[in-house]
Amino acid sequence: MMNWLHSQLRIMSTWRYEQDGQPRGPVETAALQALLNSGTLSPEALVWKDGMTNWVPARTLPEFAGTTPAGGTVPPVSPSAGVPPAAAPPPPPGGADTDAADIEKNKIFAVLAYIGILFLVPLLAAPQSKFARYHTNQGVVLFLAAIVASAASFVLVMVPFVGCLAAVLPVVVGVGSLVLMIMGIINAASGQCKPLPLIGQFQLIK
């Protein structure tokens, strides 16, 4: 029992990190901290461990928040021997070539993408940003879905007999759109490329 518990604790303490556009690891917390302290990895490097839904910059996590890179390099860190990852990590946000600099630079555009027709701002101002395009796509889909759903609900309200039951539909559509908009803004502001429920799988902008 103790051996099993120790093994599980080691698995939970292992990290994968992104370097040169490729996921690497797993390594344990102390080894990843050494990479950050040495300057081999930037505090903006994306990291992930089992239990996390997405890759995030190392500096945003309590374990590495106080990292101050020093000069010099360290030898490559070998993966934790005999410790398989408990689950396969998700791909880095927006693909391997979406880096932390892109995310930080274009967060404001990604947030604007969810506010009605303001999705035109990132579409025109940050056309080369994969992070901004990801959220612009979701903003466009949400905008169009809200228009179609609102129109359908108002039509149903005017239908005899059905209209009484459908009277609540415009309110449901409005609240649902607002909830999805807030979720998208939170994801964009936190640097995550997380699909929205119901509409996240649709892609209009590549």
Domains in the chain with CATH codes: 1-92 (3.30.1490), 100-189 (no CATH)
pTM for the model = 0.52
**Rounded CA gap, 165 and 159, in Å?**
10
Residue with tokens 């999705």: 119
**Rounded CA gap, 181 and 196, in Å?**
9
Burial per residue of 44-53, b for 16 or more beta-carbon CB atoms within 10 angstroms, e otherwise:
ebbbbbbeee
**Rounded CA gap, 194 and 73, in Å?**
34
In order along its 206 residues, the chain shows pLDDT tens digits of 444 444 444 444 678 888 876 778 788 888 888 888 888 888 888 888 877 777 888 888 888 876 665 554 444 444 444 434 444 555 554 443 456 788 889 999 999 999 999 999 998 999 999 999 999 999 999 999 999 998 988 888 788 777 677 778 888 899 999 999 999 999 999 888 889 998 888 888 87
- The pLDDT of residue 74 is 41
Residue with tokens 């179609």: 148
